[in-house]
């Protein structure tokens, strides 16, 4: 791997502490960092190198998925870390930084400097930093820019930001992080489809009835009122993570697709997404806001009573949507997407519900047996990772009725890399496959913009929902209108089927989902 100087803006911040340092440490343990690697942490706080390293060590001990056990290894890792004071608006700080970096590159005898600028700071600083990197000469080497979300606040601001960044960095040099693209199961979607003809063959409206993409969280607004009350679930999760999941799932990838092909296919999906018409928004978009309730036996406050939230806030903490992709493969298949805070459980999953040809075509009474369950293919993304296939067979104990069986695959958590490990590793290698290309970002904002406008104008109802539930009833009604229901919600029909099975002493981890 190329020698790299990792220049971290926001080195004293929360994201660096919780995600970036542990990810780098795990890459180091796995031998996935370049031989010649230096991290230069930046912030306004005055820290010595020693204090900085001690803070990094503390973060590893608190947040790393692996225990820190080898003192010599830890020491070697920390020796790569240095700290510099820098205020993003002060050009003289960048000039000093350039000297420090050049000196380090000379020490390591690096003839072809390679600098990775990671912006783990608020988005209000992105433009200034990019401009100062260019003006100071820091950017006159091979370079990459890794940029955290949010990328814009709406379509226009995202375009403005992109235009400003592109004065200092080319599209090939910009790595926009969407950490859902770093989740191991999301990364596997591509390879599962490409290398399994059985899935490739089924990936069409001929066999698929609907697709459900869920990202439910139990946490509320936490300490982020200032940010969250401004953006809501639609900007925080839907415009980026949820639409990226949709793109990853719906792309038809030829074998051996490279990053260019993946991005091309994702863009095609976004281009084929039917625009949601202003007058139809209420029919296909449900927004909600949590009220007080109980989660895992503990009472929790309603959104309007959270610290920092105005009692009149109309912000969305839940969104569900019905989307249609108007192309040869997906025409007529509804994609249901939902995400919310203070839901009953933490779960991110994609459920593919297959059509039921037996039920649709056969007059045979047994084939019409209501105990027949649709075939499902489930990708569990987090917190558990796995794939489940639901098939039907006959149960000789119950007069040959249909009986769903489940084929499960689970990945052990301990050996699974965190999203940030995957993404930082890819960025170090210059592999853009699992980063959001500008075309996708722009198309996502474009699709979401009428919804933002409708929320702003309050032309869409804001449904309250009790914390600790699966969101407002309107979200269930969205699917019920089409004859479907959300799979794996406890109140859903499938759980009743499962209860019967459990009485018989059988255990289906994915179906009970408790
Ligand atoms: N925290 C998280 O879980 C996630 C965060 N993000 C995004 O990552 C970015 C960072 O978030 P987070 O770490 O939580 O934020 P924090 O507020 O915890 O940290 C902000 C960092 O920016 C630095 N900073 C602020 N102002 C300046 C300045 N004028 N000059 C130089 N440095 C400055 C601070 O250093 P100092 O005070 O020393 O100057 C600090 O290191 C944001 O864009 C956020 O949206 C994205 C996903 C998740
Ligand atoms: O980007 C964000 O994601 C988290 C949820 O991430 P997950 O990996 O835990 O599913 C969300 O809590 C946060 O509000 C949002 O900014």
Q: Probe ligand 1: pick from 7, 8, 44, max atoms within 8 Å of CB?
A: 44
Residues 8-32 have a mean pLDDT of 97
Which ligand has the nearest atom to the CA of 182?
Answer: 2
Asked if the model's pLDDT at residue 95 lies above 70, the reply is: yes
Better pLDDT: 425 or 254: 425
* Residues contacting 409, CB < 8 A, separation 6+: 386, 387, 388
**Ligand 2 pocket, residue 102 CB under 6 Å:** no
For atom 4 of ligand 2, which residue has the closest CA?
Answer: 237
Mean pLDDT of 15-20: 96
**Is 183 annotated as contributing to ligand binding?**
yes
For residue 146, is pLDDT > 70?
yes
β-partners of residue 308 are: none
Q: Look at residue 392 in the predicted model and tell me its pLDDT.
A: 86
204-213, 373-382, 387-396: segment of lowest average pLDDT: 387-396
Per-residue pLDDT of 44-63, as tens digits, reads 999 999 999 999 999 999 99
Out of 123, 237, 419, mutate this one to test ligand 2's pocket (max ligand atoms within 8 Å of CB): namely 237
Judge whether residue 302 has pLDDT over 60: yes
Q: Whose CA is nearest to atom 13 of ligand 2?
A: 236
Which ligand 1 atom minimizes the distance to the CA of 45? 38
Give the gyration radius of the chain's Cα atoms: 25
Predicted confidence at residue 235, as pLDDT, reads: 97
Percent of the chain with pLDDT over 70: 92
Find the 21 Cα to ligand 1 centroid distance in Å: 14
Q: How far is the CA of 124 from the centre of ligand 1 (A)?
A: 10
C-beta of residue 172 within 8 angstroms of C-beta of residue 319 = no
Q: What is the pLDDT of residue 370?
A: 66
Question: Is ligand 2 within 6 A of the CB of residue 431?
Answer: no
Tell me the mean pLDDT in the region 353-367: 66
Whole-number pLDDT of residue 359 = 61
Query: Would you place residue 396 in the very low, low, confident or very high pLDDT band (cuts 50, 70, 90)?
Result: confident
Q: Which residue has the tokens 């999906």?
A: 269
Q: What is the pLDDT of residue 18?
A: 95
Q: Which pLDDT belongs to residue 333?
A: 98
pLDDT of residue 361: 53
Count Cβ atoms below 10 Å from residue 46 Cβ, excluding itself: 8
Pocket, ligand 1, Cβ cutoff 6 A: 10-15, 18, 43-45, 86-88, 120-123, 148-150
Residue 509 has pLDDT above 60, yes or no: no
Kindly tell me the burial class for residue 35, based on how many C-beta atoms sit within 10 Å of its own C-beta (0-12, 13-18, 19 or more): exposed
| 3-state SS assignment for residue 17 | helix
Three-state SS at 134: helix
Q: Return the SS3 of 66.
A: coil
Whose atoms come closest to the Cα of 94: which ligand? 1
433 is in an annotated binding site: no
> Given a cut of 50, is residue 17 above it in pLDDT?
yes
The mean per-residue pLDDT over the stretch 77-92 comes to: 98
Ligand 1 closest atom vs CA 122? 43
Q: Which two tokens stand for residue 429?
A: 């290698």
Q: Which atom of ligand 1 is nearest to the CA of 179?
A: 47
C-alpha to C-alpha distance for 249 and 234, rounded to whole angstroms: 20
Is pLDDT at 372 greater than 90 in this prediction? no
SS3 167: coil
The H or E element spanning position 366 is none
Task: Using the mean position of ligand 2's atoms as its centre, give its distance from the Cα of residue 396 in Å.
Answer: 46
Write down the residue that tokens 């020698």 correspond to. Answer: 3
Contact 291, 467 (CB under 8 A): yes
What atom of ligand 1 comes closest to residue 87's alpha carbon? 30
149 CA to middle of ligand 1, Å? 11
Distance 120 CA to ligand 1 centre (A): 5
236 annotated ligand-binding residue: yes
As for the ipTM of the complex, it is 0.98
Catalytic residues: 241
Q: Which two tokens stand for residue 84?
A: 């510099």
- Flag whether 14 is marked binding: yes
Average pLDDT (462-477) is: 98
Mean local confidence (pLDDT), 322-334: 97
* Residue 128, marked binder: no
Section 509-514 average pLDDT? 32
Q: What letter would DSSP give residue 436?
A: B
Distance CA 250, CA 199 (A): 12
Closest ligand to Cα 14: 1
Reference 170, options 134, 125, 123; nearest CA is 134
pLDDT above 50: residue 187: yes
Cα–Cα–Cα angle for 499, 502, 507, rounded to 5 degrees: 125
Cα-to-centroid distance, 255 and ligand 1 (Å)? 40
Q: What is the DSSP string of 456-503?
A: HTT-S-EEEEETTBSS-HHHHHHHHTTT---TT-TTSHHHHHHHHHHH
348 lines ligand 2 (CB under 6 A): yes
List the Cα angle 396/401/403 in 5-degree steps: 85
pLDDT in tens, 166-185: 999 999 999 999 999 999 99
pTM of the model: 0.92
Q: How far apart are CA 508 and CA 493, in angstroms?
A: 15
Q: Residue whose CA is closest, atom 5 of ligand 1?
A: 15
Query: Would you state the structure tokens that stand for residue 468, as one six-digit string?
Result: 């600790």
To which residue do tokens 């890792």 refer?
A: 77
Q: What is the pLDDT of residues 261-291, one digit of tens each?
A: 999 999 999 999 999 988 899 999 999 999 9
Does the pLDDT value for residue 493 go beyond 80? no
């Amino acid at each position: 791997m190329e020698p790299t100087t990792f220049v971290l803006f926001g080195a004293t911040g929360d994201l660096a502490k919780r995600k970036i340092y542990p990810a780098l440490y795990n890459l180091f343990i796995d031998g996935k960092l370049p031989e010649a690697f230096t991290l230069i942490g930046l912030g306004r706080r005055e820290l010595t190198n020693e204090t900085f390293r001690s803070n990094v060590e503390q973060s590893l001990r608190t947040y790393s998925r692996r225990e820190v056990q080898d003192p010599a290894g830890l020491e070697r890792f920390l020796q790569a870390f240095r700290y510099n004071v820098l205020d993003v608006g002060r050009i003289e700080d960048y000039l000093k930084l350039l000297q420090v970096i050049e000196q380090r590159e000379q020490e390591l005898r690096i003839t072809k400097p390679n600098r990775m600028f990671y912006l783990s700071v608020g988005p209000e600083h992105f433009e200034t930093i990019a401009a100062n990197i260019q003006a100071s000469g820091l950017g006159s080497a091979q370079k990459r820019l890794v940029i955290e979300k949010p990328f814009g606040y709406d379509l226009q601001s995202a375009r403005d930001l992109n235009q400003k960044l592109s004065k200092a960095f080319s599209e090939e040099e910009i790595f926009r992080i969407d950490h859902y693209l770093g989740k191991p199961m999301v990364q596997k979607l591509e390879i599962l489809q490409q290398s399994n003809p059985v899935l490739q063959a089924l990936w069409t409206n001929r066999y698929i009835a609907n697709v459900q993409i869920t990202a439910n969280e139990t946490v509320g607004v936490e300490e982020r009122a200032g940010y969250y009350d401004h953006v809501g679930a639609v900007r925080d999760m839907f415009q980026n993570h949820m639409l990226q999941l949709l793109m990853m799932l719906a792309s038809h990838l030829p074998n051996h697709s490279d990053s260019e092909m993946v991005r091309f296919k994702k863009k095609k999906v976004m281009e084929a997404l039917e625009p949601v018409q202003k007058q139809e928004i209420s029919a296909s978009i449900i927004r909600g806001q949590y009220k007080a309730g109980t989660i895992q036996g503990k009472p929790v406050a309603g959104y309007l009573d959270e610290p920092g939230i105005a009692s009149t806030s109309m912000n969305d903490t839940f969104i569900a949507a019905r989307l249609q992709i108007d192309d040869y493969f997906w025409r007529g298949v509804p994609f249901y997407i939902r995400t919310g805070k203070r839901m009953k459980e933490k779960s991110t999953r994609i459920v593919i519900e297959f059509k039921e040809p037996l039920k649709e075509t056969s007059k045979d009474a047994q084939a019409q047996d209501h105990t027949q369950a649709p075939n499902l293919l489930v990708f569990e993304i987090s917190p558990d990772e796995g794939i489940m296939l639901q098939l039907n067979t006959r149960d000789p104990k119950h007069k040959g009725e249909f009986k769903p069986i489940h084929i499960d695959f689970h990945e052990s958590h301990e050996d699974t890399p965190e999203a940030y490990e995957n993404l930082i590793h890819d960025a170090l290698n210059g592999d853009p496959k699992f980063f959001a290309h500008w075309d996708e970002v722009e198309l996502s904002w474009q699709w979401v913009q009428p919804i933002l406008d409708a929320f702003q104008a309050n032309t869409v109802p804001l449904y309250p929902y009790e914390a600790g539930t699966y969101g407002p009833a309107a979200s269930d009604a969205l699917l019920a209108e089409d004859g479907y229901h959300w799979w794996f919600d406890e109140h859903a029909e499938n759980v009743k089927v499962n209860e019967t099975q459990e009485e018989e002493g059988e255990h289906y981890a994915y179906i009970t989902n408790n």
